[in-house]
């Protein structure tokens, strides 16, 4: 992996983590409503899990486990 790819991955990783945090905040706000939209909450949680998987894949690519 060259330095340009690595920098792009790091930038993407930061953006994905921020989006993940934003979704968490949105989910908590929806759950706090008197009549929460459970379908919307379920969709946001699914998107949050997908983001988490992408984050983990990028972290694995950037920081591979090296067993010596």
Q: What is the pTM of this model?
A: 0.85
Is position 68 within any domain?
no
Is position 66 within any domain?
no
Q: Which domain holds residue 39?
A: 3-60
**Helix residue ranges, H only, the chain:** 3-31, 38-62
What was the pLDDT predicted at 68? Answer: 59
48 Cβ contact list (under 8 Å, min separation 6): 20, 23, 24, 27
Is position 42 within any domain?
yes
What was the pLDDT predicted at 23? Answer: 98
Is position 45 within any domain?
yes
How many domains are there within the chain?
A: 1
What was the pLDDT predicted at 1? Answer: 63
The residues of the chain scoring below 50 in pLDDT are none
């Amino acid at each position: 992996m060259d330095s340009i790819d690595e920098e792009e991955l790091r930038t993407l990783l930061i953006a994905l983590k921020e989006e993940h945090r934003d979704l968490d905040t949105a989910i908590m706000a929806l759950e706090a409503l008197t009549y929460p939209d459970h379908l919307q909450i379920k969709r946001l949680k699914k998107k949050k899990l997908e983001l988490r998987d992408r984050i983990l894949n990028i972290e694995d690519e950037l920081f591979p486990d090296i067993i010596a």
